[in-house]
Structure formats: C-alpha cells, structure tokens
Amino acid sequence: MSTFYITTPIYYVNDVPHLGHAYTTIVCDALARFHRMRGDDTRFLTGTDEHGQKVEEAATKRGLTPTQLVDQVAPRFDEMWQQLGLEGYRFIRTTSERHKAVVKTLWERIRKYNPEQLYLASYQGWYCVGCEAFYTESQLEKQGDQWCCTTHKRPVAWIDKERSWFFKLTDYAQPLLDHIEANPDFIRPDAYRKEIVSFLQGGLKDLSVSRTSFSWGIPVPEADPEGGKHVIYVWMDALTNYLADLCPDDGQITGPDVERYWPSALHVIGKDILRFHTVYWPAFLLAAKLPLPKGIFAHGWWTVRGDKISKSIPATRIEPLALSEALGAGSTLGRAIGIDAMRYYLLREAPLGNDGDFTFESLFGRFNAELANDLGNLINRSLTLVTKFADQVKPTRDDTLISQNSETPHFQIEIAAAEACRAAAQQFEAIHPSRALEAIWRFIGVANRYIDQTQPWTMAKANDPALPHVLWTLQASLWLIARLVAPVLPTTAQTIRSWVGDTTPLAWPIPTESRVLDQAPANLVASTPSPIFPRLDDKAQAAIVAKVLPDVAVVAAAPSATPDAGKPAPKPKADKAAKTEDGPLAPITFPEFQKLELRVGKVVKAAAVPKAKKLLHLHVDLGEPEPRSIVAGIAEAYAPEALVGKQVIVVANLVPATIRDIPSNGMILAAGDATILGLSALDADVPPGTRVR
C-alpha cells in the first residue's frame, strides 16, 4: 500500500475563511478522496496559522487579546470544513503545545548541526505585515512616493535596525538547486519550478528569523546575550506545522507517523506563498538534517472581475457556505448538492496552477450544461428507462454483443468506460483535477449517446433481444460514473449509488484490459430518481447572485441555449443588474442630499447592551452640551473599549428611537457586516459636531 500525505496552507486567523481558502482545501479533499479510493494510506492536514504581527494587529484593532481572537476565529475554519463535508482531515493550530514544542526542536536541531547557521545581528528593511515577509525594493512597486507590496497593494513598513536572529539562507541556494534538478517534480507546475530556479540562481540573502518588536509568537529557545526578547519568525513557525502534526507530543521530530507519512508529503499552496515553501522551508529542513517533502504544488488565484478574492476586498469575498446554499436551493438534496456544484465549478473551470476568474455566467453555464444537462439528464434518462421496463426485462449483461463487432455502440461504450477510468486516475495522480473531470465527462457524453443510438424504447416495442444488455449497460454506467465523480462530487456519487442499489465499498475501479463495466455488481436494483441538479432559470440565477454577492452589478443572464460541455459559457446579456437591496438606488437631487445632517462625532463611552449580541450603547460627542446616546449594531466587530476616542460620522437628524429601552438619537455610518466592518473614517482630527457635506 502506498502512503499519501497532503496538506493545505494553514490559514491566518485575522479573518474568517472565504472562497479562496475553500478552494485549496477542496482541491486537497478531492485528491485525498481519490487516493483513499485507490487504497492508499492517506493523511490530509489543514489548520490555522495563529502567531505573528498580522494576527496581533487584527486582535488589537478589535480590542481583543491575540488569544481571544485566535480562539474565536480558528474554530470558524474547522466548522466551515465540517459544514462543507470535507472528509477525514486533521486540523492543526500553531498555538497548540505540540506544535510549539516541534518548532523549538527544529530551531535546536539547526543550531546543533551547525551553530553558525543561526546568528544575531540587526535587521533593517521593508516588511509587509499582510505577507509577513521581508522585501527588497526590487521586489516592491512604487505608488506615488510609497513602496507597496505587489500582493496586497498596500504600503510596506520600514523596520529600523531591529535586533534579530538570522538564518544562513545564503548557504542553501546550491543545495536547493541540486535537489530541484534531481527531483523535477519537487515544484509543480513547471512554470513555478522555473521561477524558483531563476530566483535561486540569483543568489540568496540571509533571512531574519526572529522579531523583537512584538511578542505574539513562539519564544526563541535560547537567550540573547543583549537581553532581546525574540519570538520566532511566523513563517518558520507556521511551515513547521506540516511536520508537527506527525510528531509525538514531546515535540521530537521522529516516530512512526513521521517515518510513514513524511516521505510522501505534498504541500498544495497558492502561488502567493511559493517562495516560503520552496526556498525557506526546504532550507530549514536541510539545515536541521531532515528529509524534504516529496513535492509542492502551487495553484493560481481566483479573482472576481480581475481582483484577487481576498479578505481586504469586500466585493470579492464570496462566502462558500452561502454560495453552496444558494446553488443547492432548487434541489431536494439542498446545500449538499450545492457544495458538489461549487466543487465541480472550482475544479473544472480553471486548470490547477492557472488563475481563474469567478463569474456567475461561467458558473451558471457549467451548472446548466454539464451538471443539469450532461450528468443530470443521463442519470434521469437511464434510471427512468431501467425502472420503466423492470417488470418485463431484467437488465443482464451479454458479452457476445460486445465481442461481435467493434463498431457497435455496445463495444464503444465498453472501451470508453475503461479509458475514462485510466485517464481520470492518471490525471488525479498528476494533480490535474480539471483534466480528470474532462475525461469523466467524455464518458458521460458517450453514455448519453449510447441511449440515443440504441433507443431502448424502440427496442422494447420491437422485442429486441439486446434490450436486457442495453439496460444493464445503463445501470453499470451509472455505477461507474458514481465512482469516477466521487472525489469531486461526493454527495452526487452517494445519491447515484443509492439509486442503483450499489452497496459495495467505494473503491476506484481498475479496468482489466479494455473492460471495466463488467465489474458492476450483478445485483444492482434501479430506483426512480428525482432531479438532482435542476436547471437554474433566470429567476434562480438572480436569487443566487443576490445571496452570494449582492454588490456585483453585472450579472449573468440565463444562457439562451445550453452550451456544450467544454465550450466556453455564453457571454451575459448586457448589464443585466441584479435588483437587490444593496444595488444601485435611484438618483437623488442635491437638495435631497442636503436634508441629511451628517456630523463628525467622537465616541466618549461605549458599553455592551445586555442580552443583545449585536448591539453597543455609545455616547457620542457631537459638539452639543451633552453627548448623544446612540445604539449601534456593531458589537460583533468591535469591543466597546476599542471604540472610545474613535471619530465617527453620525446621521444626526434621524428620527429618535428607543432600542431595548435605550434612547437612540442618531446613527453611526459603517460599511460591511459582522465579519468585516469598518466605521467611516476621517483622515484628520476634526472637531466634534463639524458638518460632513
């Protein structure tokens, strides 16, 4: 039995998960499911990255301690993976004792094998808190007079001579180049291998691996003679998770799970964190005399209208549960089917490694063409035919029909089935799920054509003796398709299996020569299906858009004709805007605007409202004799103490109200919802009461 160990990046807990995080995790889940079906001893790890400046700052911003923040947000990731039905994953948190112990061991091993690999000096240079990374100016871009990070498009911070431990990364350029040359699959896809090779050929600089300007991290396990209090650089800490989950509780990097799984480790990551995984991580491992993982596979980014889906751009924040809920709304199987549809779209639309632009038109195009039409109709037609004739005809395989003539549809579908099993397995193994799906859909196309060619309803009228074989083939094809789609569409697979009465263990079928359908159990019993992927009409599409991205103005119209599988989805009809509450409103005149009395306020007091999770009771100075009492629904995003002293903009002439027995005389302007909420900000200290025009 082979082993297969697959990991996702561990995600920062400065915010809750979005579709980008779900993407990597779903890719790994699909690959893990495939390997389990192949009988491999499979381990699948994900988790959360909880230390570092970024998380510390996010906590401060919300008026929380880092521990409070990470304990609040880390479970949201685990819960999301459970709600998305991810199978058999392990979840690691970098604040766990075992992880911390393993990081300490890694540091000590690096020191032990060559003490000079870690030395004290001082760091000066640019730092992007978003990436938690040090940059030279050549790696940044200039916006106005500020250096900005190319990923976050935000100004980087200058670190001025911070005392730091350095890792002698310089020594590892050549060993890494040698390893990459000897193991061409170490970095995939090939474009990323080439990028890293040229980066290494340019030479490396030693890397600062500790920070002293904040404390939220794992302490360096040895004293600084000058008394500096160092925490280990968050990337050295985070990368170690992949090993830590295999180690025993005492933190030693050894033991049965390390030996069993580490040699097969495959890190699936986004292209944003390629350098950390393919340069720093293997260099730390080489320095600690530990074996390297088997490989790193980097995928591209999902964007929405060209912007990377990210925490910082609210208009791109697609919430995976909302998306799957909305997609499954028309099916009797509900969200579970919506999850399958989302998985299918993510894995099919963009070949792994490439970027993908999320558009509703392509999502709805694929849903209607490939799930509702190709797959849904095949299931429906096949089962309806088999059950319709069940009283007169027992589906029975007839080998003679296959061997007689290689031109017959009976022969062709046998060949196509075996080919689909082989090709899909090969593509899943090579980490090309989109190509695996293409191969499976080719077979679905053949199976649909088989019905058109054989016309079982005509055969029945003519009492054709080949009818039992045709019905058997339809049933066996569904048995096979359930298995082939199972890694990507687990609920669909389970549903098909129950409809054909397949109770045998879910294993990946291995063809013998050019036959595989003959492995279908003899005792399958078909039952009547219900529509698994009902087509999304105009109304359903508009409802999905409104639920998922109310801010997106340009929305797909229903494709007027169903596109064929593989062909690009149709273009949307021009600018058909979703009419949602948040959509554009009718224009107003200037006098109408002037009726709004917007004023600058300063929060002087803030307190929770008893038994109201979302509400805070604020006292806001508007330059009037007494501060105003205002009740605001911002408690999920702000701790009361974080608000005192903040400038806000208040709608001062809102009709007074009483909320939970508290007078509320005005409204605070804010953008977003509980997960990311910003109060309207002023970039200068303006006296309370000043009118905003």
Q: Are residues 572 and 556 in contact, defined by beta-carbon separation less than 8 angstroms?
A: yes
Report how far residue 16's alpha carbon sits from residue 181's, in angstroms, rounded to the nearest whole number.
39
Q: In the complex with ligand ME8, which residue's Cβ is closer, 42 or 241? A: 241
**What whole-number distance in Å separates Cα of residue 329 and Cα of residue 331?**
6
* Choice among 152, 168, 179, 294 that is catalytic: 152
Sign for the CA dihedral angle at 634, 638, 643, 646 comes to negative
Q: Least distance in Å: CB of 205 to ligand ME8?
A: 21
Closest distance of CB 458 from ligand ME8, Å: 49
Query: Of 100, 267, 308, 602, which residue is the catalytic one?
Result: 308
- Closest to ligand ME8 by CB, 244 or 440: 244
3-state secondary structure (DSSP) of residue 12: strand
Instruction: Decide if 28 is catalytic.
Output: no
- The interface mask with ligand ME8, positions 117-156, x = CB under 6 A, is ----------------------------------------
Torsion of CA 467, 473, 475, 477, to 10 degrees: -160
Stretch that binds ligand ME8, among 156-164, 264-272, 338-346, 468-476 (CB under 6 A): 264-272
The least CB distance from residue 430 to ligand ME8, in Å, is 19
* Dihedral of the alpha carbons of 335, 341, 342, 348, in degrees to the nearest 10: 170
Give the residues across from 314 on adjacent strands: none
Residues 41-70: x where in contact with ligand ME8 by CB under 6 A, - otherwise, as a string: --------x---------------------
The residues near 158 (Cβ < 8 Å, ≥ 6 apart) are 125, 126, 127
* Catalytic residue check, 21: yes
Tell me, by CB under 6 A, how many residues bind ligand ME8.
20
Closest CA to 448 of 458, 459, 440: 440
Residue from 301, 367, 441, 499 touching ligand ME8 (CB under 6 A): that is 301
User: Is position 529 an interface residue for ligand ME8 (rule: CB under 6 A)?
Assistant: no
Residue with tokens 């997106």: 552
- Closest to 451 (Cα-Cα) out of 383, 396, 507: 383
3-state DSSP assignment of residue 599: strand
Q: Please, which residue, 24 or 53, has the CB nearer to ligand ME8? A: 24
* Of positions 4, 6, 9, 367, contacts ligand ME8 by CB under 6 A: 9
For 207, the enclosing helix (H) or strand (E) is strand 207-208
By the rule CB under 6 A, 499 interacts with ligand ME8: no
**Residue in the shown chain whose Cβ atom is closest to ligand ME8:** 20
Q: Binding of ligand ME8 at residue 233 (CB under 6 A)?
A: no
Q: Pick out residues in 465-484 that bind ligand ME8 (CB under 6 A).
A: none
Binding to ligand ME8 by residue 208, rule CB under 6 A? no
Query: How far are the Cα atoms of 102, 111, 175, 302, 540 from residue 268, in angstroms, in the given order?
Result: 21, 29, 23, 15, 34
Identify which range of 9-17, 99-107, 407-415, 456-464 contacts ligand ME8 by CB under 6 A: 9-17
Query: Catalytic: which of 299, 311, 602, 617?
Result: 311
The one among 217, 251, 270, 282 contacting ligand ME8 by CB under 6 A? 270
**CA dihedral (56, 58, 62, 68) positive or negative:** negative
> Is 421 known to be catalytic?
no
What is the distance between the alpha carbons of residues 334 and 327, in angstroms, rounded to a whole number? 8
- Stretch of residues binding ligand ME8 (CB under 6 A), selected from 15-23, 165-173, 413-421, 608-616: 15-23
Q: Does 358 bind ligand ME8 (CB under 6 A)?
A: no
Q: Are strands 295-299 and 187-188 parallel, antiparallel or unpaired?
A: parallel
Give Rg (Cα) of the chain. 29
Bridge-based pairing of strands 554-555 and 356-358 is unpaired
308 binds ligand ME8 (CB under 6 A): yes
Residues contributing to the site for ligand ME8 (CB under 6 A): 9-12, 20-21, 23-24, 49, 238-239, 269-270, 272-273, 301-302, 308-310
Query: What positions carry a catalytic annotation?
Result: 18, 21, 128, 131, 149, 152, 308, 311
